[in-house]
């Protein structure tokens, strides 16, 4: 079986360093918001090129507390995409605001910036673009629309640490960038974790208070906050991994281009399209194939761990029934949901494995077509 992601291979590279660092934390007696979190926040701010970062419990909390810090809540609307992980829209729901789903670009899988303006109402407060699969959104257009209509922008960078748009890191365009350290992300911890990036001092201070029960000074509480602190063990592990992020992202890119070559002869497999002037970090390598469901099953029978990200678009999820968006309301999103398939992608993937995967995908596509023809 070739898995979609293999965390054990990475552990064999850095395991002894991680074990030393974790034991140091255990011996230190300081387990939450200590020196490792502080150092990680600084190192990530330097890496991203923003003034501040604040370590949190998860990427979901990063999105949720970014919205809170911008005073977005009940009665407000936030424009985002339905072609993403549920947490993007869930964060909007958590603060009591309403998600407004925007169409995607069929090539890049990201928010179709030309579809944003018609969704803006007097209640619209923010846009959350998602740099899906590690592919940067069209930030020039999104930022100019936001500026024109006086909207906030929160970038969902959960899948895109290190990705760049016109040479600038994603997460530095909007009021906030949000990262997730879920283990399978490009920079993944060994547990849950997340972080916000911002260059606005007041917004940074607000998130610092919100993550710790709504008060910057201990036992002084100004508003309802949450418990969303990053723990020292995760921060210590993430500091070790951060040193490798450029190398690991480069390896992902090399694998993506190798897949592209391996599929070049097969016109039925549509390989990912990069928008101009972007540096994509390939959190996922996502293709489009005919007879997708059948190809997917055939691949699993043959030991290829393909995955569907994501099998149901968010506007058609039960949780969003109250929005009354029927099937057909986001045709590009829905079509892509039916044809995409992500293939194994992680830095340690080997050439032989990629050859096996590509050969098997092409075989399964052919097989599904001959079955369909009968
Ligand atoms: C992973 C992910 C999140 C949520 O991050 P968690 O750390 O799992 O809470 C949000 N948005 C996207 C696009 C993600 O991939």
31 and 124 Cβ atoms separated by less than 8 Å: no
Q: Is the CB of 186 under 6 A from ligand 1?
A: no
Give the per-residue SS3 of the chain.
Answer: CECCCCHHHHHHHHHHHHHHHHHHHHHHCCCECCHHHHHHHHHHHHHHCCCEEEEECCHHHHHHHHHHHCCCCCCCEEEEECCCCCHHHHHHHHCCCEEEEECECCCCCCECHHHCHHHCCCCEEEECCECHHHCCCCHHHHHHHHHHHCCEEEEECCCCCCCEECCEECCCCCCEEEEECCCCCCCCCCCCCEEEEECCHHHHHHHHHHCECCCCCCCCCCCCCCECCCEHHHHHHHHHHHCCHHHHHHHHHHHHHHHHHHCCCCCCCECCCCCCCEECCCCCEEEECCCHHHHHHHHHHCCECCECCCCCCHHHCHHHHHHCCCCCCCHHHHHHHHHEEEECCCCCCCHHHHHHHHHHHHHHHHHHHHHHHC
pLDDT score of 373? 79
Reply yes or no on whether the pLDDT at 217 is more than 90.
Answer: no
pLDDT score of 208? 97
The CATH code for residues 7-102+110-242 is 3.40.640.10
What is the average pLDDT value for the chain, to the nearest integer? 97
Reply yes or no on whether the pLDDT at 241 is more than 80.
Answer: yes
Reading the block at residue 248, the tokens are: 């690991």
CA dist., res. 77 & res. 102, Å (int): 12
Q: Whose CA is nearest to atom 2 of ligand 1?
A: 158
* Centroid of ligand 1 to alpha carbon of 60 (angstroms): 6
pLDDT score of 371? 83
CA dist., res. 117 & res. 188, Å (int): 35
114 and 88 Cβ atoms separated by less than 8 Å: no
Mean pLDDT on 267-281:
97
Q: Which atom of ligand 1 is nearest to the CA of 63?
A: 10
Q: Is the CB of 194 under 6 A from ligand 1?
A: yes
pLDDT score of 322? 97
* Centroid of ligand 1 to alpha carbon of 362 (angstroms): 31
For residue 286, the cross-strand partners are 342
* Centroid of ligand 1 to alpha carbon of 82 (angstroms): 14
Q: Is the CB of 182 under 6 A from ligand 1?
A: yes
Mean pLDDT on 90-98:
98
Q: Whose CA is nearest to atom 10 of ligand 1?
A: 87
Task: Calculate what percentage of the chain has a pLDDT beyond 70.
Answer: 100
* Centroid of ligand 1 to alpha carbon of 167 (angstroms): 24
Q: Is the CB of 180 under 6 A from ligand 1?
A: yes
pLDDT score of 88? 98
- In CATH terms, the fold of domain 245-373 is 3.90.1150
Mean pLDDT on 13-42:
97
Q: pLDDT tier at 306 (50, 70, 90 boundaries)?
A: very high
- Global model pTM greater than 0.95: yes
* Centroid of ligand 1 to alpha carbon of 88 (angstroms): 7
Per-residue model confidence as pLDDT tens digits over 317-335: 999 999 999 999 999 999 9
CA dist., res. 77 & res. 119, Å (int): 10
Reply yes or no on whether the pLDDT at 218 is more than 90.
Answer: no
Mean pLDDT on 230-252:
98
Reply yes or no on whether the pLDDT at 374 is more than 80.
Answer: no
143 and 168 Cβ atoms separated by less than 8 Å: no
Reply yes or no on whether the pLDDT at 263 is more than 90.
Answer: yes
Least confident window among 166-170, 186-190, 196-200, 216-220: 216-220
Per-residue model confidence as pLDDT tens digits over 123-145: 999 999 999 999 999 999 999 99
Q: Is the CB of 342 under 6 A from ligand 1?
A: no
177 and 157 Cβ atoms separated by less than 8 Å: yes
Residue bearing the bigger pLDDT, 216 or 146 = 146
Q: What are phi and psi of 165, to 5 degrees?
A: -115, 120
Reading the block at residue 176, the tokens are: 């906030």
> Among 127, 134, 177, which Cα is nearest to 149's?
127
Per-residue model confidence as pLDDT tens digits over 333-346: 999 999 999 999 99
> Among 45, 52, 278, which Cα is nearest to 160's?
278
Per-residue model confidence as pLDDT tens digits over 158-188: 999 999 999 999 999 999 999 999 999 999 9
Domain boundaries, the chain: 7-102+110-242, 245-373
């Amino acid at each position: 079986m070739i898995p979609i992601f293999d965390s054990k291979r990475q552990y064999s590279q850095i395991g002894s360093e991680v074990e030393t660092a974790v034991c140091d934390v255990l011996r230190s007696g300081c387990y939450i918001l200590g020196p490792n979190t502080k150092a990680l926040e600084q190192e990530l701010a330097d890496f991203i090129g923003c003034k501040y970062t604040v370590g949190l419990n998860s990427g979901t909390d990063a999105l949720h507390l970014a919205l809170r810090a911008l005073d977005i809540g009940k009665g407000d609307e936030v424009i985002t995409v339905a072609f993403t992980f549920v947490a993007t829209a869930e964060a909007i729901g958590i603060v009591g605001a309403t998600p407004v789903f925007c169409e995607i670009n069929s090539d890049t899988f990201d928010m179709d910036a030309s579809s944003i303006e018609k969704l803006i109402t007097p209640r619209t407060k923010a846009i959350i673009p998602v740099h899906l699969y590690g592919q940067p959104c069209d930030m020039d257009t999104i930022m100019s629309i936001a500026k024109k209509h006086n909207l906030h922008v929160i970038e969902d960078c959960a899948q895109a640490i290190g990705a760049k748009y016109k040479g600038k890191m994603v997460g530095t365009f909007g009021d906030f960038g949000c990262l997730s350290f879920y283990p399978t992300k490009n920079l993944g911890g060994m547990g849950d974790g997340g972080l916000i990036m911002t260059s606005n001092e007041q917004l940074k201070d607000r998130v610092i208070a919100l993550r710790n029960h709504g008060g910057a000074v201990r036992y002084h509480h100004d508003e309802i906050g949450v418990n969303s602190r990053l723990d020292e063990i995760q921060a210590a592990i993430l500091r070790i991994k951060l040193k490798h992020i450029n190398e690991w992202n480069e390896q992902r890119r090399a694998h993506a281009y190798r897949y592209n070559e391996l599929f070049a002869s097969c016109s039925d497999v549509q390989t990912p399209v990069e928008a101009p002037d972007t540096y994509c970090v390939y959190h996922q390598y996502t293709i489009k194939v005919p007879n997708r469901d059948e190809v997917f099953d055939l691949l699993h029978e043959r030991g290829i761990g393909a995955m569907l990200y994501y099998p149901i678009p968010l506007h058609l999820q039960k949780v969003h029934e109250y929005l009354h968006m029927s099937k057909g309301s986001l045709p590009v999103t829905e079509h892509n949901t039916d044809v995409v398939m992500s293939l194994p992608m992680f830095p340690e993937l080997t050439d032989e494995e990629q050859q096996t995967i590509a050969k098997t995908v092409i075989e399964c596509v052919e097989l599904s077509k001959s079955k369909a023809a009968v």
